[in-house]
Amino acid sequence: MRYLVLTDIHGNLEALEAVLEHAAGRQYGAVLVLGDLVGYGADPNLVIERIEALAPAAIVRGNHDKVAAGVEDAEGFNLTARNAVQWTYDALTPEHRAYLRTLPVGPRVVDDLIEICHGTPFDEDAYVFDELDAIRAIEASRRPVCLFGHTHVPLVCARTDDELEVYTLDGDPFTLDIEEGRRYLVNPGSVGQPRDGDPRAAMAIVDTEARRMELIRVPYFVEQAQYKVRAAGLPEVLAKRLALGR
10-residue averages of pLDDT along the chain (246 residues): 98 98 94 98 98 98 97 91 96 98 97 98 96 96 98 96 90 94 97 97 98 98 98 97 96
Query: Using one digit for the tens of pLDDT, what is the confidence trace for 96-105?
Result: 999 999 999 9
- Identify the architecture of domain 2-244 in CATH: 4-Layer Sandwich (3.60)
Task: Return the axis-axis angle of helices 44-54 and 94-102, rounded to nearest 10°.
Answer: 50
How do the domains of the chain map onto residue ranges?
2-244
- Cα 60 from chain centroid (whole Å): 10
Nearest alpha carbon to residue 145 among 177, 118, 114, 111: 114
Concatenated DSSP letters of 26-37: TT--EEEE-S--
Query: Using one digit for the tens of pLDDT, what is the confidence trace for 169-220?
Result: 988 899 999 999 999 999 999 999 999 999 999 999 999 999 999 999 999 9
